[in-house]
Amino acid sequence: LVNEPVGSVLKKDTEVVDRLKVAVIGLGAVAEPHLLAYKSLSAVSIIGVVEPRRARLTEIEKLYGVQGYETTDALLAEQRPHVACILTPAATHRAVTEQFAASGVHVLCEKPIAVTIEDAVAMAHACARAGTCFFYGSSYRYLPAVERARSIIQSGILGEIRLIVESVLGGDGLANYRPMSDAHYPQGGAGGGGYGLVDHGIHMLDIFPWLCGSPIVSVLGRGDRTGGAPETEFAMLKMLNRTMGFLMYDSCSRSTELPYEGIFSDGRRWVDERGWVGEQGQWDSGPGSICVYGTRGSLRIFHYANKLFINTGRIEEIPLVSAGATPGHFGLQLHQFHEDLRHNRPPATSAADGIRALQALHAIYESEGSGQWRPVPGTA
């Protein structure tokens, strides 16, 4: 795997110490949550945003008071950001990363790092060659409930972690199912819906091993393809320390969750096409959660609702700060990158993390043909 050096340019770039100049590239669904979070950071200036869709660009310029550009070339002709936050579809991550790296700009790139391993490795090399830093946007690591769960697991209070599970079952029926377009994931390749294995499960392929402190060594499962009929997706994951991970996704049915499963969320409401930008604090009847089962205790992590429950004999709620609830986690992530740059140290989440998650994803797809467990390269 690739271990990027911290760029030598950082030492010369003293400006980055106090104030981070950021450009936001791609103004789709996830851009507003990023912009909302960045706007609340006093050490960050958004010096430009890029979006080829003129109407959307104008809308964001007005909503957030930012300078817009229709192309990355136009932005780079006028501005010199310290960091480009790449929020474009995965299929474009390589080209955009290479352009900013070649211009001496550090990169924070959304998940999945890329569509192919080849592209992901090329991105890491482009940054290493240019002496810029590549930060993999593993945003779930910055959700307060997830971060707190990790420290509880590490404390040993749950005993040995045997199982970690996420299932997102039930959308609004097959007629209302909307797959990700081939602008994100090419036809015939790994794809599917926004809450499926590729576009969402990639988060879990990063945070399950991070939570358990042990890499995924082998996988078995199946996933949807762009342009193909959607089916139930699943993956079983074996960690080196013998923890098992289970993922299950199906957005083509309807949920059987009952109202008592609902929870009052500290996170913002998801607004279609705009991300988590609604009012803060509302009843969420189907909150997403991750379950962690240990030999002495268990956790239920409501990652976006910002709630955490523990059962070590009796069930208790663990109080969390609300400051980093979604979309605040994008601000915590950028703050982390700023700190890494200020102290000239390797990024907290690097290209290697993005590549590892992508390798596990590809191994799941490879396992389907043979029905056999597949090793994840570099860890078996």
Exposed, middle or buried: residue 263 (CB in 10 Å: 0-12, 13-18, 19+)? middle
Interatomic CA distance for residues 132 and 229, integer angstroms? 41
Q: Can you tell me which of 4, 51, 147, 266 binds ligand NAD, judged by CB under 6 A? A: 51
For ligand NAD, the binding residues in 94-123 under the rule CB under 6 A are 96, 110-111
- Whole-angstrom Cα distance, residue 199 to residue 180? 8
Measured CA to CA, the distance from residue 305 to residue 120 in angstroms comes to 31
Q: Determine if 25 is a binding residue for ligand NAD (CB under 6 A).
A: yes
Could you tell me which stretch among 88-96, 154-162, 347-355, 371-379 binds ligand NAD (CB under 6 A)?
88-96
What distance in Å separates the CA atoms of residue 19 and residue 43, rounded to the nearest whole number?
Answer: 5
Closest among 325, 330, 296 to 312, alpha carbons compared: 296
The tokens for 359 are 């390798």
- Shortest Cβ distance from residue 28 to ligand NAD (Å)? 2
Q: Which is nearer to ligand NAD, 10 or 113 (CB)?
A: 113
- Say how far apart CA 150 and CA 208 lie, in whole Å: 10
Regarding 50 and contact with ligand NAD (CB under 6 A), the answer is yes
At 86 the three-state DSSP class reads strand
DSSP helix/strand/coil, 167: strand
- Shortest spacing between CB 83 and ligand NAD, in angstroms: 15
Q: Binder to ligand NAD among 5, 52, 278, 378 (CB under 6 A)?
A: 52
Q: Which of 7, 48, 81, 89 forms a contact with ligand NAD (CB under 6 A)? A: 89
| Cβ density class 131-153: b for 16+ within 10 Å, e for less | bbbbbbbbbbbbbbbbbbbbebb
110 vs 147 by CB, closer to ligand NAD:
110
Contacts with ligand NAD by CB under 6 A: the residue count is 24
Question: With binding defined as CB under 6 A, does residue 53 bind ligand NAD?
Answer: yes
84 binds ligand NAD (CB under 6 A): no
Q: Nearest to residue 205, comparing CAs of 373, 352, 357?
A: 357
The residue range among 85-93, 217-225, 311-319, 359-367 that interacts with ligand NAD, by the rule CB under 6 A, is 85-93
Token digits of residue 115: 């569509």
Q: For the CB of residue 166, give the shortest distance to ligand NAD in the complex, in Å.
A: 14
**Six token digits for residue 185:** 């994931």
Binds ligand NAD (CB under 6 A): choice among 6, 22, 30, 360: 30
Residue 49 token pair = 């945003």
Residue 137 backbone zone (phi > 0: left; psi -120 to 50: alpha; other: beta): beta
Site track for ligand NAD across 348-377, x = CB under 6 A: ------------------------------
Point out the residue whose Cβ comes nearest to ligand NAD.
28
CA distance 71 to 73: 5
Interface of this chain with ligand NAD, residues 185 to 224, rule: CB under 6 A: 199
**Residue choice 9, 21, 28, 375 for contact with ligand NAD (CB under 6 A):** 28
* Binding stretches for ligand NAD (CB under 6 A): 25-31, 50-53, 56, 72, 87-90, 92, 96, 110-111, 137, 139, 199
